[in-house]
Amino acid sequence: MTNAATSRTDAPNPGTLTPIYWGVVAYTALGLIGGVYYRELTKAHDYLGSTQLSVVHTHLLALGTLLGLILLVLERTFALSRTAQWKPFLVAYHAGLVVTVAMLTIKGTLQVLGSAAASSPAISGISGLGHILLTVSLVLLLMGLKKRLAA
């Protein structure tokens, strides 16, 4: 009798889990750094108002760390990397998260510094593109998962 894990054609692609893990590590580190940056910048400028910096930490930890950990389990269980949606999902997911968090950081920093540029429509538009990419990535993830559930 053959080993089921090695004979399965639907097993995860070799080397797929490790990059997901390192993505989780990176997003966790960035999330923690984002929290410290928010606290220290607002403290240094005696800023007590609301700012987009307050959600950088949570966006990175929720969308980067937690979703990444869920992806590890889903990939291990369903071999999502074997679907056509996997690579487009990863590109849209990472691009969307990076763009969204970058714009939150830029806008939040400008808010703390009291710059009028913080209300720029360009910042809102680019941030919106990041959110659109995240939405597309989640749709791709769900499409790929549906295919693997049926396999």
Q: What is the pLDDT of residue 12?
A: 74
Helix (H, G, I), strand (E, B) or coil at 47: coil
CB 83 within 8 A of CB 49: no
Q: Judge if pTM exceeds 0.85.
A: yes
The reported pLDDT for the residue numbered 72 is 95
- Spatial distance between the Cα atoms of 101 and 31, rounded to a whole number of angstroms: 10
Q: Which amino acid is at 79?
A: A
Q: What is the pLDDT along the chain (151 residues), one digit of tens a residue?
A: 444 444 455 777 778 899 999 999 999 999 999 999 999 999 999 999 999 999 999 999 999 999 999 999 999 999 999 999 999 999 999 999 999 999 999 999 999 999 999 999 999 999 999 999 999 999 999 999 999 998 7
- What contacts 2, CB < 8 A, 6 or more positions away? none
Q: What is the pLDDT of residue 9?
A: 59
Nearest-CA neighbor of 114 among 39, 54, 48, 31? 48
Dihedral angle over CA of 92, 66, 148, 76, nearest 10:
120
CA distance 23 to 17: 10
Of 62, 34, 52, the closest CA to residue 134 belongs to: 62
